[in-house]
Amino acid sequence: MFDPFDKTRRSPPIRFAQSAVRWFFRINMLPFRTRVAGMEKYPRTGPLLVCSNHQSNLDPLILGCACPRPVNYLAKDSLFTFGPLGWFLRWNDAIPIDRSGSGLAGIKETLKRLKKKESVLMFPEGTRSRDGELLPVKRGFCTLVKKTKVTIVPIGLDGAWDALPRDSPLPNFGATIQVVIGEAIEPEEYLELSDDALTQLLETRIAECFDKARAMKASAARGLLHS
């Protein structure tokens, strides 16, 4: 049976086209002044669970462009039923998540990707912020990382809420977006922790990245005012 998620079965043209899509979005993100700090901290090999705060619907595009390696996205299963968007999500190997049920199929597929040493992007706050501020991190990621013993990459971003607030139908082109990649959390650092302690650790790391991103964005804004 054909498995669309199996990289060994993806043809070179498909892999090339997916790479072209990433560059297409990088070009289309140019109207936003997007900056990335901490790129040297991003692991270049091995399975990764990339965890970021969640400010707007632009976040998957921002992080897909910022991360030096391709990432697998998690998306609500209802989005896969919407014509062109559903086709695009499937073609780019997004993982459908049933948020109204157990979400077991999505969890299994995520585990499968991580065991293949791929990267998966997750927003552990569980939903978008209504005001751009941080939300508490939920514990759902703990089972994934403890089963797969993957590296966790904490990321903080700021400015995406300014670029596309939750209730705004149109983006604010020209907004400054700052992404900060933090120190990776390795398995030996978290395997002996309780789920509560691991959740607190990740929340702290994301908060540190977010605070740095906000400070860097403010500094960039002052520079533009005085230029």
Structural domains of the chain ordered from first start: 7-225 (3.40.1130.10)
Q: What is the 3-state secondary structure (H, E, C) of 80-119?
A: HHCHHHHHHHHHCCCEEECCCCCCHHHHHHHHHHHHCCCE
Residue 174 burial (10 A CB sphere; 0-12, 13-18, 19+): exposed
Strand order through the sheet with 72-76: 33-37, 176-181, 151-158, 48-52, 119-122, 72-76, 95-97
At residue 83, the pLDDT reads: 81
Tell me how far apart the alpha carbons of residues 195 and 131 are, in angstroms, rounded to a whole number. Answer: 27
CA dihedral for 207, 213, 219, 222, sign (positive or negative): negative
Tell me how far apart the alpha carbons of residues 119 and 73 are, in angstroms, rounded to a whole number. Answer: 9
The conformation of residue 139, written as its DSSP 8-state character, comes to: T
Cα dist. 66→38, 219, 223 in Å?
Answer: 11, 20, 23
Per residue in 16-49, is it b (16+ CB within 10 Å) or e — as a string? eeeeeebeeeeeebeebbbbbbbeeebbeeebbb
At residue 121, the pLDDT reads: 94
Number of other residues whose CB lies within 10 A of the CB of residue 1? 2
Contact yes or no for 151/187 (Cβ under 8 A): yes
Retrieve residue 73's tokens.
């996205």
Nearest to 156 by CA among 73, 41, 79, 75: 41
With vertex at residue 66, the alpha carbon angle to CA 63 and CA 72, rounded to the nearest 5 degrees, is 50
Strand partners, 154: 51
Retrieve residue 191's tokens.
């395997």
Each residue's pLDDT expressed in tens, for the chain with a length of 227 residues:
333 344 444 566 656 666 766 666 666 665 678 899 999 999 999 999 999 999 998 898 899 889 988 888 888 888 888 887 777 777 777 888 886 655 788 889 999 999 999 999 999 999 999 999 999 999 999 999 999 999 999 999 999 999 998 888 888 888 899 999 999 999 999 999 999 999 999 999 999 999 999 999 998 777 655 54
Tell me how far apart the alpha carbons of residues 34 and 45 are, in angstroms, rounded to a whole number. Answer: 25
CA dihedral for 42, 44, 49, 54, sign (positive or negative): positive
